[in-house]
Structure 1
């Protein structure tokens, strides 16, 4: 029919004029992105729980208090959910955890938590169509990234408060910190195979998503956590937190992938130097080159 032919011609013309739009659309509807985000969220949850108990068991009281305040700030905790968090970091709980876990258990928790780092590295590698980095090259990067991420979480309360200046400074400061974190994350976990500038679109998208979700979490999560805790107990708390992690990790997966697509758009690629990456061995379609 004539209208179908006209639509095909319009699509072909759009693909010729705006190839980046076509690739963006294909990546967005690609179900593997959502699967990757879900797997990343699962690894994040499995890493966070043992690390949280390890910190609660072995960290000094001042560190536990600061981490508690940061977690309270991230989720805007009030009521029953805040009491649950307080119980985790209570001194008597910490003593019991030390006796139950031991230093070896804490070390094992830290090592196993690098599975989250590996999952994040794979998200970045898939976004750029790169093969996995060798274990000898990547192993120390997994541990460094995880420890740096813990530090960022630890500092969330003062960052969001603008170090005492209030939310008017805290919100833009949070965005700037998120931008730096996601730019450095990609560069580190990709083992420096992609220069800094081509990673900037993904970092900007990731920072925007993190900031939007950070504001949303403070508005939505307190009520959701308290309702889940009242209706389903601890299981409801776990499911609500896991659902939030899936949203965050899916957003980051899409951000890094779309950022890599945008960085290959000819006009942007010339400014960011992405075309030099292609000549070095990454094909323009996102697959690995022949070199």
Structure 2
């Protein structure tokens, strides 16, 4: 009489179903313990999902590429030669353009100088400036999502979009000497770039949120964004020249466009992560106590004059 040999445990479906059930229970238990011990992880994950980080960052990058970049060419066409040369230097420093790619940028600016000035005129230049506010509006939507500002009932003055574009252009003009450490090297360029980026994103959040969030709660997001942007700028100094030169050699100017757009997407993802993470951390009890924030101010903004009158009564 022959006896049937039993299959090994790991080949039995019942064994695997039991193991999967055990692993699932362990994962749920670990997640519950993490939520209990580190609630900030849960809050941050939920906020990232609500903000839709990659979608928001891609939209922001697209608006920068379609509206802000044409504005640079219009400014270069109407600005004096010294300002145009400084703009070329700053754009080259930001994107890490060297060699053939930098020569291409200079050729584009010189070729479009007189033609673009004649074609657009003053009215056209103003229209380009107004269309560039799409970039600031996209940035504003990102900040409002990160801070859970309600869409309805809160009005933020449109002049803030133009102000953000204007300050952004002024800071862009000086990025060339800043990235060079004012001629003293990287040891000065890194802290100056980091400090300027922290101040920029601290002020940007306050401006685009219309003062609905106090200055101190905005500081964590400004610091995180400043660190992330500075790290990308340093990395781009070593990576972007090779990537752009390779794409320029293999695909021509079209390859350069895709490389720059990819870099913009990565930059906008870093900005979105920094702002959103800072908004979550600023509302955590252990940090909110130190920041001394009284809480969100859009409830009063939504109430309006009637709400303030009721409160005074």
TM-score, structure 1 as length reference: 0.90
Which residue of the other structure, out of 33, 37, 47, is the alignment partner of 1:17?
Answer: 37
The answer on 1:152 being equivalent to 2:171 is yes
CA–CA distance in 1 between the matches of 2:183 and 2:259?
30
Paired position in structure 2 for 1:243: 262
Cα shift readout 1:14-69 (whole Å, capped 9, x = no counterpart): 21222111122334466821100000000011122321220121000010011111
Query: What residue is the counterpart of 2:86 in the other structure?
Result: 66
Aligned to 2:99: 79
Q: CA deviation at 1:212?
A: 0.7
Equivalent in the alignment of 1:50:
70
Deviation at 1:172, TM superposition (A): 0.5
Partner of 1:281: 299
Distance 1:232 1:159 in 2: 32
Q: Give the C-alpha shift of residue 131 in structure 1.
A: 2.5
Q: Deviations for 1:201-258, whole angstroms, at most 9, x for unmatched residues?
A: 1111100110110011111111111221222222111111111000000110111111
The one of 28, 34, 38 equivalent to 2:54 is: 34
Over 3 Å counting, the alpha-carbon distance change for 1:63 and 1:30 in structure 2 is same
Say which is worse superposed, 261-270 or 130-139, in terms of deviation: 130-139
Cα 1:30/1:132, change in 2 over 3 Å: closer
Matched, 1:179 2:193: no
- Where 1:138 maps in the other structure, the secondary structure is coil
Q: Contact 2:51/2:142 (CA < 8 Å) preserved in 1?
A: no
**Residue equivalent to 1:114:** 133
User: Structure 1 CA distance, aligned partners of 2:92 and 2:156?
Assistant: 36
Gaps of 5+ in 1: 283-287
Is the contact between residue 95 and residue 240 of structure 2 (CA under 8 Å) also seen in structure 1?
Answer: yes
TM-score (norm 2): 0.84
Aligned positions, number: 283
Instruction: Name structure 2 gaps, 5 residues minimum.
Output: 1-20, 308-313
The 3 A distance-change label for structure 1 pair 35 and 159 is same
- Which of the numbers 160, 170, 173 marks the counterpart of 1:141? 160
Q: Distance in 2 between matches of 1:133 and 1:98?
A: 41
Distance 1:134 1:29 in 2: 23
1:265 aligns with 2:289: no
Q: What is the distance in 2 between the residues matched to 1:243 and 1:16? A: 38
Q: 2: distance between equivalents of 1:217 and 1:280?
A: 39
Contact kept? 2:53, 2:272, Cα under 8 Å: yes
2:47 and 2:250 map into 1 onto residues whose CA distance is 38
What root-mean-square deviation, in Å, do the aligned CA atoms of Structure 1 and Structure 2 show?
A: 2.3
Contact 2:212 2:296 in 1 (8 A): no
Provide Cα deviations, 1:180-213, integer angstroms capped at 9, x if missing partner.
0000000000000000110111111100110110
Determine the structure 1 residue equivalent to 2:3: none
Output the CA distance in 2 between the equivalents of 1:47 and 1:226. 25
Q: Look up the match of 1:285.
A: none
